[in-house]
Structure 1
Amino acid sequence: MAPKVVLVTGVADQLGGQLADTLAADPGIDRVLGVDTAPPATTNTRVEFVRTDIRGPKITKLIDSAKVDTVVHAAPRPSVGPRRVAIKELNVIGTMRLLAACQRARTVRKLVVKSTAEVYGASASSPAVFTEQDAPENGRAEAVEIEAYVRGFARRRPDVALTVIRFADVIGPDVDNALTRYFSLPVVPTVLGFDARVQLLHDTDALAVLSRAATHDLPGVYNAGGDGVLMLSQAIRRAGRVPLPMPRAAIGTATRLAGGRVDLSPGQAGLLNYGRVIDTTRLKTTFGFTPKWTTAAAFDDYVRGR
């Protein structure tokens, strides 16, 4: 059954805001509520923005009063920079409170959670390709913790259609994140002795995946990434940059000193060392979506629009 009242968290971010706009343009959806602590960049009049912290009690009242039937949790974001502790708390505690609100609300019948391929980690013992069956145990701690709470919710509310999307790193000409800033450095620090495989997802494909998950009943866990990979050295050359090999321990400091605004998460730093590739067979077959952009094409589009 198509959703009628949708609540989207994290609308101050580009992806969350665009998703709320896209859903608001669907004539079959009656209301779209956008929730965040800051207003979205866009001003779609059909999106009802509610300024609130999902860690507070207001989110429960909002879901109940609006009779929300579909919740898209797009708020989790990388905990990097000087506010990393606060962002991590918002990610983890905010998810806990949102899940508790959804558990109590009998009108909620669908939940979509934006996760990350960082749950798989990146190490010397990593498989060549991760599938959804690989346990999310060795990846970014907070991402693993969030998915553990989501699985707990699924046990308590088996009647809710739950969709979890594990995104590869998102890139595009309008995307501003640690990875796009990393590839914009004049001299790009790399890990000495390693040439990692990188898999990316164009931001338009990421938006399309979340939109389809919100408007269709497609429960399950899905990896989402573009076809193919780029070696890190290839990506740096395509970006017209110069690599600077150095010990892994120095990467974080070097990126911050080189660009000022580059602060890679631990998962992204590990990616530069060992790489990470995810299998997207389930996305194409069960979920019914094939990304329009390959990894290489998505990266080239980013370079053109940089």
Structure 2
Amino acid sequence: MGKVVLVTGVARQLGGRFVRRIQRDPDVDRVIGVDAEPPEHHLGGAEFLRADIRQPAIAKVLAETGVDTVVHMDINGTPLGHRGSRGSVKEVNVIGTMQLLGACQKAPKLKRLVVKSSANVYGSAPRDPAVFDETTAPKSLPSGGFAKDAVEVEGYVRGFARRRPDVAVCVLRFANILGPCADSPLAEYFSLPVLPTVFGYDPRLQFVHEDDAIEALRMAASTPRRGTLNSGTFNIAGDGAVLLSQCSRRLGRPTLPLFLPTVTWAGSVLRALGITDFSPEQIRMLTHGRVVQTTQMRETLGFHPKYTTAETFAEFTRSRVPGLLPPEALARTVDRLAALLPAHGGPTQ
């Protein structure tokens, strides 16, 4: 008998793609996709069970299916298809995770738990280190939004790991996931015709391609190979970093530098209009940036991303509607202005 894998959050594109991918693993015998909403995409040969992980009934699902591996992907920053509210998303992220972990604790056949977390747990602050590793504590804990959800989720997962030391627990802290099917607040931000930015700041950003995200999850859910260990907490990101100004040039979208209070106000307006979830935590990231170290990802987990951060953004750019300005012309104009500023005593970066 091969492994029985249960995957949460399969109604989203990333969850659906992972389900289709994990079925091809030779040691996987059965895949069960779970979500409160039926997926609009196909799941290959996987079974779909309509179940809300916020409800105690999820324990019955694990008990009846004999699951030995759980991949928890139903932790997100936005509602599915923009249906629902921030409150409903938090309930799924936090209450749903609590219920799922309670069910996992009672599942005697469970051997492996993989959790899709986020590098948002590190927050974004002016005195942050240049690079976060897995042991770095944030200067200030996220005060709200998806980042706070991720911190709470990881706390519950650590509690579960202490109660079930027989289960291999792997937490993957993903950098911003981008790609042709990306569905995230940052992808929505980059789709705006003009990008609001914080005056005087040009943050470093880091991305992971959705294909690499799926492969990292698959590796974490698989039987460990010699020399690898798929348990623990790992940062997952493509090599390198890019500046926000470079992103705007490559997209062909002009920026609109605003003072921080104005950006905060603009974010609240965009959220109220339903255009994008321009949350305070995203504003902090677009002010101070965030870069994570991936040494443990390579040396301990044994995962090597196919795409760098720059290549990930290039793939994402090709999947978007072209911006208002040709990227090449925008880049030349910005470079010329930057070259002129020192000659006239202007500010330099």
TM-score bracket for this pair, using the shorter chain length:
over 0.9
Within the alignment, does 1:152 sit opposite 2:159 as a pair? yes
What residue in structure 2 maps to residue 228 of structure 1?
240
What residue in structure 2 maps to residue 286 of structure 1?
300
Question: How far 1:187 moved relative to its partner?
Answer: 1.0
Gap change, CA 1:71 and 1:265, over 3 Å in 2 = farther
- Distance in 2 (CA, whole Å) between partners of 1:286 and 1:198 is 24
- Distance in 2 (CA, whole Å) between partners of 1:44 and 1:75 is 16
1:271 to 282, 285, 305: 285
- Distance in 1 (CA, whole Å) between partners of 2:54 and 2:232 is 26
On the 8 A contact 2:175/2:208 being kept in 1, the answer is yes
Task: Provide, for residues 122-173 of structure 1, a one-character-per-residue CA deviation record: whole Å limited to 9, x for no partner.
Answer: 0012110000011366232211111000000011001100000000000112
**How does 1:16-27 map onto structure 2 within 5 Å?**
16-27=15-26
- Distance in 2 (CA, whole Å) between partners of 1:279 and 1:304 is 27
Gap change, CA 1:298 and 1:62, over 3 Å in 2 = same
Flag the structure with larger Rg.
Answer: 2
What residue in structure 2 maps to residue 164 of structure 1?
171
On the 8 A contact 1:17/1:41 being kept in 2, the answer is no
1:262 to 276, 280, 292: 276
On the 8 A contact 1:95/1:146 being kept in 2, the answer is yes
Which has the higher mean CA deviation after the structures are superposed, 138-147 or 79-88?
Answer: 79-88
Question: How far 1:98 moved relative to its partner?
Answer: 0.4
Within the alignment, does 1:109 sit opposite 2:121 as a pair? no
What residue in structure 2 maps to residue 177 of structure 1?
184
Within the alignment, does 1:237 sit opposite 2:244 as a pair? no
What residue in structure 1 maps to residue 42 of structure 2?
43
Q: TM-score if structure 1 supplies the norm length?
A: 0.94
Within the alignment, does 1:302 sit opposite 2:301 as a pair? no
1:195 to 196, 202, 216: 202
Task: Provide, for residues 25-83 of structure 1, a one-character-per-residue CA deviation record: whole Å limited to 9, x for no partner.
Answer: 22421110000011223223411100010111221011011110000000000157760
Gaps of 5+ in 1: none
On the 8 A contact 1:3/1:70 being kept in 2, the answer is no
- After TM superposition, the runs of 4+ consecutive aligned structure 1 residues lying more than 6 A away are none
- Distance in 2 (CA, whole Å) between partners of 1:33 and 1:295 is 32
2:141 to 138, 143, 157: 138
User: In percent, how many aligned pairs have the same letter?
Assistant: 50
- Distance in 2 (CA, whole Å) between partners of 1:76 and 1:34 is 15
What residue in structure 2 maps to residue 100 of structure 1?
102
Gap change, CA 1:125 and 1:295, over 3 Å in 2 = same
Question: How far 1:99 moved relative to its partner?
Answer: 0.4
CA RMSD of superposed structures (Å): 1.9
- Distance in 1 (CA, whole Å) between partners of 2:182 and 2:41 is 15
On the 8 A contact 2:2/2:30 being kept in 1, the answer is no
Within the alignment, does 1:88 sit opposite 2:90 as a pair? yes
Gaps of 5+ in 2: 225-229, 321-349
Task: Provide, for residues 90-128 of structure 1, a one-character-per-residue CA deviation record: whole Å limited to 9, x for no partner.
Answer: 110000000000011111110000000000000012110
On the 8 A contact 1:3/1:69 being kept in 2, the answer is no
- Distance in 1 (CA, whole Å) between partners of 2:264 and 2:13 is 25
- Distance in 1 (CA, whole Å) between partners of 2:53 and 2:68 is 17
Task: Give 3-state SS (helix, strand or coil) of 1:30's partner.
Answer: strand
Q: Which structure exhibits the higher relative contact order, with contacts defined as CA atoms closer than 8 Å and separated by 6 or more residues?
A: 1
- Distance in 2 (CA, whole Å) between partners of 1:264 and 1:98 is 29
What residue in structure 1 maps to residue 324 of structure 2?
none
Q: TM-score if structure 2 supplies the norm length?
A: 0.83
